[in-house]
């Protein structure tokens, strides 16, 4: 059997197992184990073992449970809800102000958690009912919640980028910095979109009445304290890291400690809450760890048979594709897979093939893997909100008020998908959008 056919068999076997509903890490790990035994015999088990054992020596892996823990503390302690109340009062007189405030809220919470699901849950359970009660258009605000929550995975500390860095063996700090400018660009696009829609049709987002916002200035200033804590945690964590005061792992520890102290100061820290947070953190962290182990094992076997070099020869020599045509093909495959798979499954599947291939392409600039990691993360945003699989679609359907139907959810996402796609195109045309900040900080 040729190496090309072996590689095709590995991918086909993995996809069949995934379609049967098996857990992602189990399907990928099983294929890797069976293929290494068939190809190399009992001694071949050392190949995936050596690759996966490197993971336990990679110190940045410690950041994963700390960031997840920090996000759960902020959510369970009600700090996110306090922040929304502040935005409600201070932006209520602006046309579409609550929708814009919701975008800011979910970016902040998702960024501090590192996962888009945190912002999604808060937006669906806190922001949506409030905006519906005040007469906001349900299609508009449903799209705002879904699009806004997906922004969190581009802003540090993004767990998706940590996973990519682990598998691609790239500096997490560089990936985080590379995602900041594209993430802010998208956030600005979303805000401008809301402002334009509301300007054209003010009935989509009625301005709050004076009665609803009638409170003394002293109380309004007191509400600002609700926003101080999340911002203080975020800037203490990322600011100290960017200034070189703390390492990556130390920054994650600062964030986790600060979130715990905030819950204690607000007198919302209980043993019951701590037990629940620890249980959720352990569950999510273990899930990611098993996925990474399976990906590294699969990648070691896949690369060991020379499949990557064979595919590179197929694309570059046989098909005579230019490096940029190869990148475009990769992006198209991301979009297609994102309609059926979640971001971690997609990364595990494509990393063994795409990461080594991107290293060999001559795109005309440095830090190609950092740039490619940003492209992958941005494509994950689209995967979160596009049918039939989109995680955020399922979460929205489960948590949204009964007034919001499934057709409403599907109708709401397309303007935000278009803006995300436009941003991806800009980053591909102008790589320095992503690479400028990490290069500036490094220099």
Residue 415 to residue 393: CA distance in whole angstroms: 15
Task: Provide the 8-state DSSP code for 206.
Answer: P
At residue 307, the pLDDT reads 61
At residue 180, the pLDDT reads 86
Q: Is 92 exposed, middle or buried (0-12, 13-18, 19+ CB in 10 A)?
A: middle
Residue 47 to residue 196: CA distance in whole angstroms: 56
At residue 138, the pLDDT reads 87
Residue 378 to residue 109: CA distance in whole angstroms: 18
Contact in structure between 68 and 252 (CB atoms under 8 Å): no
At residue 306, the pLDDT reads 63
Percent of the chain residues topping a pLDDT of 90: 4
**Residue 235, phi then psi, degrees to nearest 5:** -75, -30
At residue 396, the pLDDT reads 74
What predicted TM-score, i.e. pTM, was given to this entire model? 0.73
Residue 45 to residue 33: CA distance in whole angstroms: 7
Residue 339 makes CB contacts below 8 A (sequence gap 6+) with: 383, 386, 387, 388, 389, 390
Residue 114 to residue 112: CA distance in whole angstroms: 6
Question: Which of 428, 442, 443 minimizes the C-alpha distance to 174?
Answer: 442
Q: What is the DSSP string of 131-159?
A: HHHTT--HHHHHHHHHHHHHGGGGSSS-H
Runs of H (alpha helix) within 244-322 = 248-265, 271-304, 307-313
Contact in structure between 140 and 205 (CB atoms under 8 Å): yes
Contact in structure between 123 and 392 (CB atoms under 8 Å): no
At residue 130, the pLDDT reads 75
Residue 70 makes CB contacts below 8 A (sequence gap 6+) with: 112, 113, 233, 252, 255, 256, 258, 259
Cis peptide, bond prior to residue 237, ω within 30 of zero: no
At residue 423, the pLDDT reads 92
At residue 426, the pLDDT reads 93
Contact in structure between 116 and 153 (CB atoms under 8 Å): yes
Task: Provide the 8-state DSSP code for 315.
Answer: I
Residue 371 to residue 45: CA distance in whole angstroms: 33
User: Low-confidence residues of the chain, pLDDT below 50?
Assistant: none
First-residue to last-residue Cα distance in the chain = 50
Residue listed under structure tokens 């906001």:
136
- Give Cα 2 to chain centroid, integer Å: 37
Residue 92 to residue 100: CA distance in whole angstroms: 10
- Give Cα 380 to chain centroid, integer Å: 7
Question: Which of 176, 182, 180, 178 minimizes the C-alpha distance to 159?
Answer: 176
Residue 289 to residue 162: CA distance in whole angstroms: 11
Contact in structure between 263 and 269 (CB atoms under 8 Å): yes
Task: Provide the 8-state DSSP code for 212.
Answer: T
> What is the helix, strand, coil percentage profile of the chain, to 5?
80, 0, 20
**Residue 142, phi then psi, degrees to nearest 5:** -65, -40
């Amino acid at each position: 059997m040729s190496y090309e056919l072996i590689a095709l068999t590995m991918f086909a076997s993995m996809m069949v197992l995934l379609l049967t509903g098996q857990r992602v890490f189990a399907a990928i790990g099983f294929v890797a184990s069976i293929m290494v035994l068939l190809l190399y015999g009992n001694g071949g088990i050392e190949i995936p073992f050596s690759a996966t054992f490197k993971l336990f020596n990679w110190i940045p892996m410690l950041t994963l449970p700390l960031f997840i823990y920090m996000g759960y503390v902020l959510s369970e302690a009600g700090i996110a809800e306090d922040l929304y109340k502040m935005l409600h009062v201070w932006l209520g007189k602006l046309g579409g102000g609550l929708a814009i405030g919701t975008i800011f809220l979910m970016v902040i919470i998702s960024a501090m958690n590192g996962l888009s699901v945190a912002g999604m849950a808060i937006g669906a359970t806190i922001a949506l009912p409030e905006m519906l009660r005040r007469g906001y258009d349900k299609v508009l605000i449903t799209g705002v919640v879904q699009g806004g929550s997906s922004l969190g995975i581009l802003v540090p500390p993004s767990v998706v980028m940590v996973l990519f860095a682990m598998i691609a063996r790239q500096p997490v700090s560089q990936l985080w910095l590379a995602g900041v400018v594209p993430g802010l660009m998208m956030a600005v696009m979303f805000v401008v979109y809301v402002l334009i829609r509301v300007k054209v049709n003010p009935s989509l987002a009625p301005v709050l009445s004076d009665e609803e916002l009638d409170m003394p200035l002293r109380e309004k200033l007191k509400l600002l304290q609700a926003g101080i804590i999340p911002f203080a945690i975020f800037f203490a964590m990322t600011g100290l890291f960017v200034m070189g005061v703390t390492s990556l792992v130390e920054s994650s520890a600062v964030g986790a400690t600060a979130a715990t102290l905030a819950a204690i100061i607000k007198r919302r820290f209980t043993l019951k809450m701590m037990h629940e947070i620890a249980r959720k953190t352990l569950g999510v962290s273990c899930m990611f760890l098993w996925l990474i182990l399976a990906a590294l094992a699969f990648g070691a076997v896949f690369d060991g048979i020379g499949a990557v070099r064979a595919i590179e020869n197929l694309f570059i020599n046989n098909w005579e594709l230019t490096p940029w045509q190869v990148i475009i093909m990769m992006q198209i495959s991301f979009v297609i897979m994102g309609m059926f798979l979640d971001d971690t499954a997609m990364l595990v599947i494509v990393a063994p093939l795409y990461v080594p291939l991107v290293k060999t392409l001559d795109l005309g600039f440095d830090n190609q893997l950092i740039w490619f990691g940003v492209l992958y993360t941005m494509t994950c945003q689209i995967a979160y909100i596009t049918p039939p699989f989109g995680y955020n679609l399922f979460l929205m359907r489960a948590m949204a008020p009964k007034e919001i139907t499934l057709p409403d959810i599907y109708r709401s996402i397309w303007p935000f998908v278009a803006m995300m796609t436009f941003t991806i195109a800009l980053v591909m045309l102008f790589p320095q959008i992503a690479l400028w900040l990490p290069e500036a900080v490094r220099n």
